[in-house]
Structure 1
Amino acid sequence: MTQKTSQAYAANSAGKALEKINTQLPTLGDEQVRIKVHYCGICHSDLSMINNEWGLSAYPLIAGHEVAGEIVEVGSKVNKHDIGDLVGLGWHADYCEQCRSCDNGDHNLCSKAIGTIVQRHGGFSEYVQASQTSVVGLPEGLDLKSVGPMFCGGITVFNPLVQYDIKPTDKVAVIGIGGLGHLAVQFLSAWGCEVTAFTSSDNKADEAKKMGAHHVINSKDAAQIESVQGQFDLIISTVNVKLDWNLYMTTLQPKGRLHFVGATLEPLDIGAFSLISGQKSISGSPVGSPDTIKTMLEFANQHKIQPMVEMFPMSKINDALAHLKSGKARYRIVLQADF
């Protein structure tokens, strides 16, 4: 098979509705695979790229970086995948394979990594291609329909558990029970941690407990937050809004860590003494390496963890994007290819 063209949904300029187009596929590289897209999640990063909020976009822009599909063609030097394999593709489509990060297995930290939707075409299309290293095979038993968001939202919240050696006996809090947070709660609960969910939405309290949270606290109620001072080994913040971070620092145990995976827009105004007195840490992380993604998928398969998704046909992509913008999605949106 040598597929030459692909139908896709593209933004022709910043902020415009997506239109169906035919696009020429690039020549398949020796170490690349071509994937027929069956499903593709929508992430806020797709919106940011469509609107050129980061100044990285090139139009026509075909977004989509939470791909689940089937390999239909492989390059001449591909040895990690075969035609017919069910695979996923996330934020990165290639790595330099030469830097210290790549040598150490930290491909997600490669400074020359190529974004799946940065200056190239992503998964809102019939076909997408990427390096064999960045594509990860799906364990048998995972739901193909809902696995796409695991390649961005899922790995973003799973990665810190691996990086910081989180223990089953740790007490961990998650700020924000949305697209990222609802997966973080599930992972942490299955990991064995005592999990507290911070949310500003009272109607999410019962859902958070069903996902595995042992406690739920209103993230805007200072009195409730003060009631858990000195309790947490780790707090994972998934939100992109300003909160009273100094107040949250008081809820950490000595040597506790406040970790950001949500891109808070305003600078962090955290006093040095709140760090020094308890030897506490502040950190952040992006998505994970292909190896960590593989571990995450195996863990999720073992513990029956999957994102809660709302399905749209790809042909209704603009409706799906509007639903995402509304903030009402519970909790991730997935498009089903219907070209």
Structure 2
Amino acid sequence: MQIQALAAQQQGATLQPYEFAVEPPQAHDCVIKVLACGICHSDLHMIDNDWETSNYPLVPGHEVIGEVVEIGSQVNHIKTGDRVGVGWQRSSCLQCRDCLRGNENLCDENQGLIVTGPGGFADYLMVDSRFAFPIPAGIETKLAGPLLCAGITVYAALRSAGMTSGQEIGVIGVGGLGHLAVQFASRLGNSVTVFTTSDDKAEFAHQLGARHTVVVPGGTPPAPTQKLNILLSTVPASVDWAAYLEHLDSDGTLVLVGVPSEPLNVPIGAMLNKRRRIMASPIGGRAMMLEMLSVAEKYGIQPLVEVFPFEQANEAMQKVRDNKVRYRAVLAK
């Protein structure tokens, strides 16, 4: 099968038409006709080889939504004609302790979709069907892709940190990750406090469901008036972690999904005195992905997207690179 795609031929290059061949699907594989694909900053990191894991030509795209057109002999949980999505993860060993616990995302042998093969900037994608997820009918195709990356990232982090309902949840940042975190936390019955750097994002956070907003223009929040059970940081920058720790209640958890470039510098006393925790969280396993999609459909949780035709992929990528997209970019056919 010949697949038409867009690829970066070398580090930092713009996308160019690229054609490659794939073998017929093996036992657990499926072939997906791509209908839409989100654009994530991780696509840019891979194109630029920031993580030194890139192979070229590189076909980006790990928020893929499409229609199943062919399946392998052992595939029985999806069928041709189904609408499915594929996120960051392509595969795992499915046998280790983490996989057997439902934490395939923590498997030592887990493979990223665009790290070990072509992604969704193409007319078709072949992938292990066990990492292709049925998309609920109530979620639009153009909105589904970002849920498979940004959505699962914040949802899994909040759940892993202990989020249930009736809690006080804090979110640092109202961007591509944060605007979904506010929705998940608030619509599952929690009181959400948002920390942001601008008045307009504070107002937007209220519209999303935040009960309280704190504008922090200089990076250091004011003294807390309400203690939080969980504080989720979605920003890729260092902030005044000591000041933010004071916003946590006893046994509270600071969980990071944004990745600062500098090591964390935190006072152990602020953690010791109140038995606070710090953790980080990457995406989520297969069961968590299905749960997240179900919750998103049931409670109407939607990413705010800008849609571009595939022919404008380079223009869309540049807008993402320039941080001019509010809040997720999606290529659609």
Q: Same fold (TM over 0.5)?
A: yes
CA contact 2:133–2:290 (8 Å) conserved in 1: yes
Find the counterpart in structure 2 of residue 220 from structure 1.
Answer: 217
CA distance in 1, matches of 2:162, 2:243: 25
- Residue identity matched to 2:300: K
What secondary structure does 1:226 align onto? coil
Aligned pair count reads: 333
CA distance in 1, matches of 2:143, 2:135: 12
- CA change 1:254–1:333 in 2 (3 A) is same
What secondary structure does 2:54 align onto? coil
Q: 1:31, CA displacement in angstroms?
A: 0.4
Cα deviation 1:125-150 (Å, max 9, x = unaligned): 11112112111101111111111000
Instruction: Select the residue among 283, 286, 291 that pairs with 2:287.
Output: 291
Find the counterpart in structure 2 of residue 135 from structure 1.
Answer: 132
Matches within 5 A, 1:1-339: 4-221=1-218, 225-228=221-224, 231-337=227-333
Q: 1:80, CA displacement in angstroms?
A: 1.3
CA distance in 1, matches of 2:225, 2:202: 20
- Residue identity matched to 2:320: L
CA distance in 1, matches of 2:217, 2:246: 15
Q: 1:114, CA displacement in angstroms?
A: 1.3
What secondary structure does 2:141 align onto? coil
- Residue identity matched to 2:286: P
Q: Which moved more, 1:199-208 or 1:239-248?
A: 199-208
CA contact 1:246–1:274 (8 Å) conserved in 2: yes
Cα deviation 1:271-309 (Å, max 9, x = unaligned): 111110100000010001111111111111111111000
> Could you state the TM-score of these two structures normalised by the residue count of structure 1?
0.96
Superposition RMSD in Å: 1.2
Q: 1:221, CA displacement in angstroms?
A: 4.8
CA distance in 2, matches of 1:226, 1:167: 27
> Could you state the TM-score of these two structures normalised by the residue count of structure 2?
0.97
What secondary structure does 2:205 align onto? helix
CA distance in 2, matches of 1:201, 1:324: 20
CA distance in 2, matches of 1:222, 1:204: 15
What secondary structure does 1:20 align onto? strand
CA distance in 1, matches of 2:233, 2:219: 17
What secondary structure does 1:130 align onto? strand
Q: 1:21, CA displacement in angstroms?
A: 1.4
CA contact 2:158–2:232 (8 Å) conserved in 1: no
Cα deviation 1:167-207 (Å, max 9, x = unaligned): 31110110010000000000011011110111112221211
Which segments of 5 or more consecutive residues in structure 2 lack a partner in the other structure?
Answer: none
- CA change 1:222–1:288 in 2 (3 A) is closer
Which segments of 5 or more consecutive residues in structure 1 lack a partner in the other structure?
Answer: none
Q: 1:165, CA displacement in angstroms?
A: 2.9
CA contact 1:197–1:217 (8 Å) conserved in 2: yes
CA contact 1:230–1:254 (8 Å) conserved in 2: no
Q: 1:229, CA displacement in angstroms?
A: 5.3
Q: Which moved more, 1:158-167 or 1:258-267?
A: 158-167
CA distance in 1, matches of 2:161, 2:256: 13
CA contact 2:198–2:217 (8 Å) conserved in 1: no
CA distance in 1, matches of 2:212, 2:48: 37
What secondary structure does 2:130 align onto? coil
CA distance in 1, matches of 2:316, 2:209: 28
What secondary structure does 1:6 align onto? strand
